[in-house]
Amino acid sequence: MLAILAGVLWLIKPDFRFIILGAFSTFLTSGLGLYHSGIEQKWWSGPSTCSSGKIDDLSVDELFEKIMNAPLTRCDEIVWTFANLSMANWNAILSLLLTIVWIIAIKNKSITSK
């Protein structure tokens, strides 16, 4: 969202800082996509608010309470895939590609301003 705003602002007022902002925001989004992919693949644990955690040592009553108070969406399960990649995977890949586009724009701006 911030990258789109940076692009629109650059179209209105071509300022090199907007290109930097676009590259930074898409790179950050790619990192978040990678982080979420790691949670889905169980490479690391996610926040306790969206991951189930271990239930081995819970009593029946504790497990029931945990189930009843669980959020509707869990971030440690893959909900949808396309071409065997989850939405988090696609987010990381496409955001990284957009970062490359922004970097090309930075290089082109650097070349034309010399």
Q: Which residue in this structure is represented by tokens 């790691």?
A: 38
Residue 56, SS3? coil
Q: What is the DSSP secondary structure assignment for residue 83, as one 8-state letter?
A: T
pLDDT at 93: 97
- Judging by beta carbons within 10 Å of its beta carbon (0-12, 13-18, 19+), is residue 94 exposed, middle or buried? middle
User: For the chain, what are the domain ranges?
Assistant: 2-47+75-112
pLDDT digits (tens, 9 = 90+) for 26-73: 999 999 999 999 999 989 988 876 666 667 788 888 888 877 887 667
Mean of pLDDT values over 63-88? 84
Which stretches of the chain are assigned E, i.e. beta strand? 81-82, 85-86
Q: Which residue in this structure is represented by tokens 């271990």?
A: 54
What confidence tier does 101 reach under pLDDT thresholds 50, 70, 90?
very high
